[in-house]
């Protein structure tokens, strides 16, 4: 333990030296560094995708390429021209002055390892912060490769040496030593509940995430064909490893549900019967932790079906299981987050029961995260948005892609989605560079001096 502590102390000391140097950089220097990082990351997005799938055994290469592009180039395009150094705003007599937090500690997940590493490197350095990573042990090699690419590009463009570092030998002990080190100024954690809890227990300011048990309400006036296409695209993206992907579809009309199920089946969805649902329920969750089993996370529908004891054709894109609006919760774990191309469906008697089912589903392991609604009725979209305890409400767009931002809407692009008070987080934001700025405010007097003072 003494040797491990010495290694963490060394990382922190190097980071602090880099942070002091970085404070002196101007906006032009910062933006030149960020541009170089984007160029290098984008050039290596396929290589990193292949490494991530090979090492973790999760997801698929083509979708990991897209994730890497989002985490690097899409994020860069959003932040590249935005001010992050010195006076960044002057309005209503208030000058906003951006300063760096300093040394940022970052935890990354096994589901999105390389894209999250690139994303956090970009947003940290955009604010003149330096960053030290504790990667998920099952994604150490690919994550370190992503960090190396970003660091080398940054340093070549003039950034201080050691602006991006990482723990070389991952362990729970090393991560805890990093997160709780007095030299850390901010923690940003993306990953499982234990890691996020550790971040909030570190004694430092922390930005975290929460689980995303995303309900999708398909209201009777929805463009059904579009909704079905979007749900398939969202749920099957990287084999369901995006935390904001659809988990269960809630209909409010049996006739509409039957039409949709036929569309799902015609477009590559395997509709499971009750026996197959029971088999899936037995293998999909860790009974002790109440979370998806690592055996099924990010696996293809064919692999998951085989593990459960039945076969599906090669062309099947996802599995769909029947659920009941009255049994949302621990009594039916398939109403929980599944992190795989397995989705549930249920039919409510009307709009009110459907929205209530969405609310209960979010409270069962997804509070504060994301909810989606398809409807042609603006009043329904507003009612849904007001009712659900979700901080990203995606309307008439695929949930996974819509929540990430910039693809189907103008949400801030991010690989770290805050869940607010309901999810135990400090913010509801799609985390980006601005969350890593320490903004001070200079306020001009706006009342005239009294003549008789």
Indicate the Cα dihedral angle 38, 41, 44, 49, nearest 10°.
-130
Is it the case that residue 312 has pLDDT exceeding 70?
Answer: yes
* pLDDT (tens digit per residue) in 250-282: 999 999 999 999 999 999 999 999 999 999 999
For 416, other C-beta atoms within 10 Å of its C-beta total 26
Mean pLDDT confidence for 306-333? 97
Mean pLDDT confidence for 218-230? 98
Is it the case that residue 453 has pLDDT exceeding 60?
Answer: no
Is it the case that residue 409 has pLDDT exceeding 90?
Answer: yes
pLDDT of residue 29: 98
DSSP secondary structure string, 3-34?
Answer: HHHHHHHHHHHHHHHHHHHHTT--HHHHHHHH
Per the residue annotation, which of 72, 142, 243, 419 is the catalytic one? 243
Is it the case that residue 233 has pLDDT exceeding 70?
Answer: yes
The predicted model scores a pTM of 0.95
pLDDT of residue 288: 83
**Beta strand pairing status for 390-395 and 368-374?**
parallel
Segment among 29-33, 189-193, 260-264, 332-336 with least mean pLDDT: 189-193
Mean pLDDT confidence for 199-211? 89
Token digits for 211?
């689980």
For 435, other C-beta atoms within 10 Å of its C-beta total 20
Please give the domain boundaries of the chain with CATH numbers for all domains: 2-208+431-442 (3.40.605.10), 214-405 (3.40.309.10)
Residue % of the chain over a pLDDT of 70: 99
Instruction: Please report the beta strands in 388-444, taking only residues with DSSP state E, as ranges in sequence order.
Output: 390-395, 437-443
Token digits for 424?
């135990």
pLDDT of residue 450: 66
Mean pLDDT confidence for 17-34? 98
Mean pLDDT confidence for 122-140? 97
For residues 79 and 428, give the distance between their C-alpha atoms in angstroms, rounded to a whole number.
19
Provide Rg for the chain, Cα atoms: 23
Mean pLDDT confidence for 275-293? 93
pLDDT of residue 290: 85
Is it the case that residue 300 has pLDDT exceeding 70?
Answer: yes
pLDDT of residue 287: 83
Q: Please report which confidence band the pLDDT of residue 451 belongs to, taking 50, 70 and 90 as the band edges.
A: low
pLDDT of residue 32: 98
163 part of the active site: no
Is it the case that residue 449 has pLDDT exceeding 80?
Answer: no
Mean pLDDT confidence for 94-113? 97
Cβ atoms of 254 and 347 within 8 Å: the answer is: yes
Report the alpha-carbon angle 72-73-74, nearest 5.
100
Is it the case that residue 194 has pLDDT exceeding 80?
Answer: no
Cβ atoms of 328 and 360 within 8 Å: the answer is: yes
> What Cα–Cα distance (Å) separates residue 154 from each residue in 69, 80, 290, 441?
18, 14, 41, 29
pLDDT of residue 231: 98
Residue 412 DSSP code: P
Q: Please report which confidence band the pLDDT of residue 198 belongs to, taking 50, 70 and 90 as the band edges.
A: confident
Is it the case that residue 169 has pLDDT exceeding 70?
Answer: yes
- Which helix (H) or strand (E) element contains residue 199? helix 193-200
Mean pLDDT confidence for 187-198? 83
pLDDT of residue 452: 58
Mean pLDDT confidence for 285-307? 94
* pLDDT (tens digit per residue) in 411-445: 999 999 999 999 989 999 999 999 999 999 999 99
Residue % of the chain over a pLDDT of 90: 92
Q: Where are the alpha helices (DSSP H) in 364-411?
A: 378-387, 399-404
Sheet of 94-100: strand order equals 86-91, 94-100, 437-443
What is the rounded average pLDDT for all residues in the chain?
Answer: 96
């Amino acid at each position: 333990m003494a040797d491990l502590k010495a290694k963490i102390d060394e990382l922190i000391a190097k980071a602090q030296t880099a942070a002091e140097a970085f404070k002196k950089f101007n906006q032009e220097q910062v933006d030149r560094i960020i541009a170089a990082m984007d160029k290098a990351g984008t050039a290596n997005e396929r290589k990193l995708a292949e490494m991530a799938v090979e090492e973790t055994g999760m997801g698929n290469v083509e979708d990991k390429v897209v994730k890497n592009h989002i985490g690097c180039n899409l994020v860069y395009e959003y932040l590249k021209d935005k001010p992050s150094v010195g006076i960044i705003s002057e309005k209503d007599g208030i000058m906003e002055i951006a300063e760096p937090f300093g040394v940022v500690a970052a935890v990354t997940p096994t589901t999105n390892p390389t894209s999250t590493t690139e994303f956090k490197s970009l947003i940290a350095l955009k604010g003149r912060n330096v960053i030290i990573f504790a990667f998920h042990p099952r994604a150490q090699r690919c994550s370190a490769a992503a960090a190396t690419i970003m660091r080398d590009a940054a340093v070549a463009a003039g950034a201080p040496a050691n602006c991006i570092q990482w723990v070389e030998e991952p362990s729970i002990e090393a991560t805890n030593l990093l997160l709780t080190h007095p030299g850390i100024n901010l923690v940003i954690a993306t990953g499982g509940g234990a890691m996020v809890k550790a971040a909030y227990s570190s004694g430092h300011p922390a930005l975290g995430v929460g689980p995303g048990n995303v309900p999708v309400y398909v209201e009777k006036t929805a463009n059904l064909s579009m909704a079905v296409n979007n749900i398939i695209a969202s749920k099957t993206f990287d084999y369901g490893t995006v935390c904001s992907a659809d988990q269960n579809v809630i209909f409010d009309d049996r006739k509409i549900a039957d039409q949709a199920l036929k569309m799902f089946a015609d477009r590559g969805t395997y509709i499971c019967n009750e026996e197959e649902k029971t088999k899936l329920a037995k293998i999909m969750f860790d009974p002790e932790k109440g979370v998806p089993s690592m055996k099924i996370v990010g696996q293809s529908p064919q692999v998951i079906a085989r593990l459960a004891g039945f076969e599906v054709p090669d062309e099947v894109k996802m599995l769909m299981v029947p659920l009941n609006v009255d049994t949302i919760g621990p009594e039916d774990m398939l109403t929980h987050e599944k992190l795989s191309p397995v989705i549930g469906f249920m039919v409510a008697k009307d709009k009110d029961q459907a929205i209530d089912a969405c609310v209960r589903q979010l409270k069962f392991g997804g509070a504060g995260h994301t909810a989606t609604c398809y409807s042609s009725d603006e009043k329904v979209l507003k009612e849904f948005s007001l009712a659900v305890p979700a901080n990203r409400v995606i309307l008439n767009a695929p949930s996974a892609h819509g929540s990430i931002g910039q693809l189907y809407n103008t949400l801030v692009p991010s690989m770290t989605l805050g869940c607010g008070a309901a999810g135990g987080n400090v913010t509801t934001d799609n985390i980006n560079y601005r969350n890593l700025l320490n903004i001070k405010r200079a306020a001009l007097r706006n009342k005239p001096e009294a003549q008789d003072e």
